[in-house]
Amino acid sequence: MRILRNILTVSFILTSVFAGNCQSTSTGTDRSYDKFKTVFEKELNRFGSENIEPVDFVVHPVNLPDWLVQYNSGDGVDLFSLGISDPGMEENLAKQQAIFRAKTVACFLTNPSIQTVSENYTADLVKKTDPDFVEKFINYFRVLSANSFNSDDENPVYYDYNSFREAIVVIRIDLPGTGSDSIFCVGNVYQAERTTGSVMQMDQRHEIFGMLKQDNTVNARYAYSIHSINQKDEITSKLNNSQIEFPYRNFKYTVKQNSVEHSNSPEKLSCGLWKAFITALLQEMHLAMQNNPVSVKQVGDVYDGSSKNLARESGKSNRSFSINNLHIYNNQLSVTLGFIN
């Protein structure tokens, strides 16, 4: 447990210092984010403005391999894990990053600790159109996992390197609990919807951190963060001690046969495959927690005709997942998860 806490501390430090752009966004919500992150830690009692840059449009879309659309992670006996590099990378480095990320995905799927805190808040004077009306929904979600396993890095089950210079791999991973590879991973998701008067703002942050140890020596680490305000994305990626620089374009992908349009919220592929895949995966894990029991707190006060109401929910879960389907439709990606007991 002490090791995991130290890993988390390192991950929070690393993910807080990144800055990069798919489309740059204002960071005026940072204080609210930091404040709610503190609330999250307290509730679960676990651990103590830029201009918009031009975006290039891709003329010729990448045709994705059939095996990617048909991908699933297996039934739990053997785990087939998907990893994707950032775009614009040299092939050997892209393959290395994709394999590392595949191990992180396996770690997220296998016996993770999942925690969430949500708040609904309303403070109004007269009605929703009044400029003093404030309403917000905030959610903070964390996935934490640590596993040991064996994997065949030299012989991926599937591999592709496309014209956007992205590596896509599927590697086979033996059952957790054995092997010389130890991996620690953390995924933090912050989502806020705020309405002031008639103006609405959407603020989302995803922070993913992974550390790989081989024979008790740290062999690799990576961090990946996304900050989105009203669907404008700021992305930062680091592998070991190097920040990954990649082109920011409106990426487009095609498949020979589109998936059936999926009912769950899809992620746009315009910032690359990995961004869409990891955010869709974490979102589905969060949705899977909705049926779990939660602890609810409510606060309500009235002052001089105004009202302030706060409802806070928190929950925890430990279940393993499988990726049953990966859906690609209209340059969007979504995943379907199942439980493994």
**Per-residue pLDDT reduced to its tens digit, 185-202:** 999 999 988 777 677 888
- What does DSSP assign to residue 51? P
How many percent of the chain have pLDDT more than 90? 41
Average pLDDT over residues 232-257: 88
Buried-exposed string 24-57: b where 16+ CB fall within 10 A, e elsewhere: bbbeebeeebeebbeebbebbebeeeeeeeebee
With H, G, I as helix, E, B as strand and everything else as coil, classify residue 80: strand
Quote the CA–CA distance of 137 and 312 in Å, as a whole number: 10
pLDDT band at 318 (very low <50, low <70, confident <90, very high): confident
| Tens of pLDDT, residues 10-45 | 444 444 433 334 554 545 567 777 777 776 666 655
* Under 8 Å between Cβ of 125 and 95: no
- CA 266, 176, 327: angle at the middle one, nearest 5? 15
User: What pLDDT does residue 156 have?
Assistant: 94
Give the Å distances, CA to CA, from 214 to 27, 149, 182: 38, 10, 6
Single out the residue of 341, 297, 281 nearest to residue 317, CA to CA.
341
- CA 20, 23, 24: angle at the middle one, nearest 5? 60
Query: What does pLDDT average to over the chain?
Result: 79
What is the token pair recorded at 73?
Answer: 């992670």
* Under 8 Å between Cβ of 192 and 136: yes
Give the Å distances, CA to CA, from 234 to 14, 27, 202, 231: 16, 10, 14, 10
* 249 vs 40, more confident: 249
What is the token pair recorded at 42?
Answer: 């307290």
User: What pLDDT does residue 133 have?
Assistant: 57
pLDDT band at 58 (very low <50, low <70, confident <90, very high): low
pLDDT band at 206 (very low <50, low <70, confident <90, very high): very high
How many percent of the chain have pLDDT more than 70? 70
Single out the residue of 307, 181, 187, 327 nearest to residue 260, CA to CA.
327
What is the token pair recorded at 58?
Answer: 């891709």
Quote the CA–CA distance of 67 and 157 in Å, as a whole number: 10
pTM of the model: 0.78
User: What pLDDT does residue 65 have?
Assistant: 95
Average pLDDT over residues 143-166: 91
User: What pLDDT does residue 128 have?
Assistant: 57
User: What pLDDT does residue 1 have?
Assistant: 47
What is the token pair recorded at 328?
Answer: 């690609």
246 CB neighbour count, 10 Å cutoff: 20
